[in-house]
Amino acid sequence: MKVNPYLAIILAATIGGSSGVFIKLIDLPATTITFFRMAVPVVILLGYLQYKGVKLFRGNYRLMMLASVLNATRMFLFFVGYLYTTIGNAVIILFTWPIFGTLFSAIFLKEKVSGRTIFLIALAFTGIVIMYVDKEISFGNEDFIGMAAMLFSAIFFAITAVIFKQELLTYSRTETIFYQNLVGALAFLPFALFYAPSPSAIQIGAASLYGFLIGILAFMLFFYALRRLKMSHYALFTYWEVIAALFFSVLFFGEQITWNMVTGGSLILATGILVRKRRER
């Protein structure tokens, strides 16, 4: 079934924006949730690939394993960033990844990036900054560690996105998601085994659902769009995840929407509309 790639990435970003709700309601350590987030896709997709008779570790699997290591590292740095600095600081730094993604795609994938696209990326990032302009930004030791960790997380995310875009020509989305999560599932396994007290049945069920929605469904949609869009355009539409996260924060936790959130969100949405109109000409 053919799906509009722009619709696919918006749906994926909306699902991704729900991560905060899961993390707060499940009430488990970040490392334990990360294990479920990465292990559930590996277990399900391993069974599926075996059923289909797909040969594992074929093609350029060494590069895919490298991307898996980078992705596991990214996840670790992602949580360090949120633990050591404010959410405002972390999110602003995290969403520098499309800028790095566009840069790396131009270098490694030889994609042409027009001045207009660069302007739109800057416009979208300006929207992110405006949305968090009322957050206090300090540069104490812990803030520096957290912001530095999130910056490297963004860089690793951009690198893995470029690698997966290149290898999607060889591997199916299912194989790509399997490789993406494999190393992380093994690396975070000890945290799940030795966490005390043990997660309740409800927590395990909710964390497993989270792993399926984010680790499989969202990334199936993300990779579907990534295979069909230029890296720069794909990166722009991932900003929708911020809008979705704000919506869920209001819906589930009653957080207030401020003027800067509306202004910044409008810039992000306008960016998506402008890039779409350009492609339709």
Helix, strand, coil percentages for the chain (3-state, nearest 5):
80, 0, 20
d(CA 204, CA 191): 14
Number of domains in the chain: 1
Question: If DSSP codes are grouped into helix, strand and coil, which group holds residue 86?
Answer: coil
**Where do we find the tokens 């795609």?**
105
d(CA 206, CA 52): 28
CA distances (Å), origin 20, targets 4, 33, 101, 125, 165: 27, 11, 24, 21, 26
Task: List strand residue ranges (DSSP E) for the chain, in order.
Answer: none
CB 8 within 8 A of CB 221: yes
pLDDT tens over the chain, length 281 residues: 678 888 999 999 899 888 878 877 888 887 888 899 899 999 999 999 999 998 888 888 888 899 999 999 898 888 777 777 766 667 777 777 777 777 777 777 677 777 877 787 788 778 777 866 665 555 555 777 877 888 888 889 888 888 887 787 788 888 888 998 999 999 999 988 887 678 889 999 999 999 999 889 998 898 888 888 877 777 778 878 878 877 887 888 776 767 776 787 777 767 766 755 554 45
d(CA 203, CA 140): 35
Q: Where in the sequence is the domain holding 228, given as residue range(s)? A: 5-280
In this prediction, residue 43 carries a pLDDT of 95
d(CA 124, CA 271): 6
Query: 201: part of which helix (H) or strand (E)?
Result: helix 201-212
Q: Which two tokens stand for residue 36?
A: 């479920």
d(CA 141, CA 139): 7
d(CA 179, CA 22): 24
Instruction: List, as one string, the DSSP characters of 235-250.
Output: HHHTTHHHHHHHHHHH
d(CA 67, CA 167): 10
In this prediction, residue 57 carries a pLDDT of 84
CB 236 within 8 A of CB 99: no
In this prediction, residue 141 carries a pLDDT of 59
In this prediction, residue 280 carries a pLDDT of 45
d(CA 234, CA 214): 18
d(CA 65, CA 183): 8
CB 252 within 8 A of CB 277: no
CB count within 10 Å of CB 267 equals 18
In this prediction, residue 277 carries a pLDDT of 52
pTM of the predicted protein model: 0.75
- Within 13 A of 216's CA, how many CA atoms are on the CB side? 17
